[in-house]
Amino acid sequence: MSKPQAANQAHVETAAVHGEGRVEHQYGDVAMPLHFTVNFEYETLESTRGPFGYSRHRHPTREQAEAAIAAVEGSAHALLLASGVAAIDVVLRGLKAGDHIVADDDLFGGTYALLERLYRPVGVEIAYVNLSAGPDALSAALRPNTKFVLLETPTNPFMRIVDIAAVAAAAHRVGAAVVVDNTFATPVLQRPLEWGADLVVYSTTKYFSGHSDMMGGAIMMNDKAAYERLKYVQYAAGAVPSAFDCWLLARSIKTLAVRVERQCGNAAAIAALLARHPAVETLYFPGLESHPGHATAKRQMRDFGAMMSFVPRGGIEVARLIYDRVRLFTRASSLGAVESLIVAPIAGPHIGRAGTDNAPPAHLLRLSVGIEHVDDLLADLRNALGGAA
């Protein structure tokens, strides 16, 4: 299958800058204004002066940011939420006891915790499957009561690649909806709706924001009925972002494409260093030709992303040494921002998976590559790894 074209914008770079559209502003603002009001005046006993009444339902800055994110996704609809896990939770809210979902077995730890701590106890059945292994494993796990297939690609933190079109074909045979957490790829690199996914979710806290200064989530979809249902769930459950976070998001989306392009270039150079470094035992990065998902990633993605994980040779003490020696990479959780980050997933973002079969080992280190000059990043890692070798 050839790579699909964006539905409503020829180039993602242009959509990123212009997607929020121009609204009628009193002063002809070029930049998007920020509306700092929660409620809106009523004109009569029954109705408000404009389309807005109360912000948990609708807010002008949120709606403009939703237009911006829908433009880069090429989706008909978008919902912005208070965080990435709130987005996943709103998608799953309709599940009831006896419903079944299939989830990939390499998922962000917070998603795993949400499933295990909030959904399994109320009777939702969950099967974990390595979806990167091909459609047979998925077909064996699907049941008539399977409502969702939930996956990330690349996965977090092992960077496995799932063939979205193949998963969608199998899931749709039993009427299950495919939900792709596209946080690592962003729509700049991959548009799951165009490969057959039903819903796309994001932690906009990551690449969309890109500056480690706001939290948010998004649900993207083409289906109007799904949009209306999920918008009601969001309204009823209250998982809305603040107007300021929406404004920050819309502002940041304008530079998303250039940031991601630079991050991918830097990541490729870093992967080339790590792949041949004697201090690295295993490198997980889909850009490597030896990566089992490389061919699928090449077909499904525009580039290989800027996330990678590696196991240093020599175990936890060596991992500790590398961690202590980096100077430019910030030792912190989260990902996707302008600054490069390093973290041991099991000590932070994946703590929810501790003790499980597929838990990341304590000495797995994950890099989120930023936009600094590549030579400085390479020198920092060479120094840290050299000290370890």
Q: Which residues of this chain interact with ligand PLP, rule CB under 6 A?
A: 83-85, 108, 110-111, 152, 156, 181, 183, 203, 205, 215, 217, 334, 349
Q: Write the CA distances from 288 to 182, 184, 189, 299, integer angstroms.
A: 20, 17, 17, 14
Task: Give CA–CA dist 83/386, Å, rounded.
Answer: 38
**Smaller CB distance to ligand PLP: residue 90 or 279?**
90
Residues paired with residue 42 on neighbouring β-strands, in sequence order: 48
The secondary structure element, H or E, covering residue 112 is helix 109-113
Q: How far is the CB of 81 from ligand PLP (least distance, A)?
A: 9
Query: Which residue of this chain has its Cβ atom nearest to ligand PLP in the complex?
Result: 84
**Smaller CB distance to ligand PLP: residue 258 or 351?**
351
**Smaller CB distance to ligand PLP: residue 239 or 371?**
239
**Smaller CB distance to ligand PLP: residue 156 or 266?**
156
Q: How far is the CB of 151 from ligand PLP (least distance, A)?
A: 10
Q: Give the count of beta carbons closer than 10 Å to the beta carbon of residue 196.
A: 18
In terms of phi and psi (left: phi > 0; alpha: psi -120 to 50; beta: otherwise), the region of 211 is alpha
φ, ψ (nearest 5 deg) of residue 227: -60, -45
**Smaller CB distance to ligand PLP: residue 139 or 334?**
334
Q: How far is the CB of 203 from ligand PLP (least distance, A)?
A: 3
CB 162 within 8 A of CB 185: no
Q: How far is the CB of 40 from ligand PLP (least distance, A)?
A: 28
Task: Give CA–CA dist 242/244, Å, rounded.
Answer: 5
How many alpha carbons lie under 13 Å from residue 68 in its C-beta half-sphere?
A: 30
Q: How far is the CB of 26 from ligand PLP (least distance, A)?
A: 34
Residues paired with residue 201 on neighbouring β-strands, in sequence order: 181, 219
Q: How far is the CB of 208 from ligand PLP (least distance, A)?
A: 10
DSSP 87-109: HHHHHHTT--TT-EEEEESS--H
